[in-house]
Amino acid sequence: MTVENHKGGGLFVMKCGGSTLAALPDSFFDDLRELQRSGAQPVIVHGGGPAISGNLEKLGIESSFVNGLRVTTEEVLDVVEMTLAGSINKAIVRRIQGSGGQALGLSGVDGRLITARLVANSSEVGLVGEVTGVNAEIVRGVLAMGYIPVIAPIGVDAGGQRYNINADTAAGAVASFTGSPQMIVVTDVPGIMRTLDGRKTVLPSVTVGQIEDLIENGEIYGGMIPKVRAAIDCIQGNVSEVVIVDGKEPRVLSRVLQGEELGTRIIRS
């Protein structure tokens, strides 16, 4: 595959949950290595909600959620940063390097990579940030040195205050500021499913508006609702398309980038 074979001109952004990445087979990272060697420029933004919850529980720190956002105090934020920028970020870097790829772990704090401010409902959720900017030069600089940037979604403001940022929101912002029109969301499901003729079938493409209809009529339900809404959060700025794929699918990244219909493409309209 050459750089010209996909829409991002070589650069593409991939979002993945920490627990999903941990469960991916070695072949996924082999595919990532081959893409990197062929001239593609992957950028990874990762989450890690379950690991954060586990560490908070171990430390006896109470945690709650409001509309899917973790209520974040300074005490909680210490654990969020430790988990995301520490153990999870480095575990991903190790797996990439273990397959023969080259990776560099960063958080949004490093070089003010991700700048942020408090979300509008900060009185309810605390130190949760919305992205105000992404330093695309850092991302491009890391790529130019031959490394895959692996980014933990912690933001920072001009005064040095840290913020907990939703990983999907951070990934969408990184994609938008770096000029990648497409986001790949790697999950543990084959895409958005609906029942046709009594069988569960993957929808090849769906618009943001159709997703709300599918949720309303019960076709999208349970644990798929937050996954889909999170993917919608990625569609911002220059990002016009999000592809939800199962990371266990053979050569999934290469196949999506070559234009193969795989998973579900979410488009604006």
Q: What is the pLDDT of residues 86-110, one digit of tens each?
A: 999 999 999 999 999 999 999 999 9
Does the annotation list 70 as a binding residue?
yes
Domains in the chain: ranges and CATH: 3-267 (3.40.1160.10)
Q: What is the pLDDT of residues 9-55, one digit of tens each?
A: 489 999 998 888 888 999 999 999 999 999 999 999 999 999 999 99
Q: Count Cα atoms within 13 angstroms, Cβ side, for 6.
A: 28
Does the annotation list 164 as a binding residue?
yes
Distance of alpha carbon 245 from alpha carbon 131, whole angstroms: 25
Q: Provide the 3-class DSSP secondary structure of residue 107.
A: strand
Q: Is the pLDDT of residue 224 over 90?
A: no
| Cβ-contact 72, 125 below 8 angstroms | yes
Does the annotation list 49 as a binding residue?
yes
Residues ≥6 apart with Cβ < 8 Å to 142:
104, 106, 148, 149
Does the annotation list 101 as a binding residue?
no
CA-to-CA separations, 141 to 41, 130, 135, 137, 168, in angstroms, rounded: 11, 24, 10, 6, 23
The dihedrals phi and psi of 148, each to the nearest 5 degrees, come to -85, 120
8-state DSSP, 220: S
Q: Is the pLDDT of residue 5 over 70?
A: no
**Of 7 and 268, the one with more pLDDT:** 268
Ranges of beta strands (E only) in 173-260 are 182-187, 193-196, 199-202, 205-207, 241-246
Mean pLDDT of the 78-82 span: 97
Cα 196 from chain centre: 30
Q: How far apart are the first and last CA of the chain?
A: 29
Q: Identify any residues that bridge with 66 across adjacent strands, giving them in sequence order.
A: 69
Band of residue 1 on the pLDDT scale cut at 50, 70, 90: very low
The dihedrals phi and psi of 128, each to the nearest 5 degrees, come to -100, 135
What pLDDT was estimated at residue 269? 75
| Cβ-contact 129, 164 below 8 angstroms | yes
Q: How many beta carbons lie within 10 A of that of residue 243, not counting itself?
A: 26
Distance of alpha carbon 44 from alpha carbon 157, whole angstroms: 22
Q: Is the pLDDT of residue 227 over 90?
A: no
Distance of alpha carbon 217 from alpha carbon 212, whole angstroms: 9
Band of residue 7 on the pLDDT scale cut at 50, 70, 90: very low
Distance of alpha carbon 17 from alpha carbon 45, whole angstroms: 9
Give the tokens for residue 199.
């069988």
What pLDDT was estimated at residue 182? 85
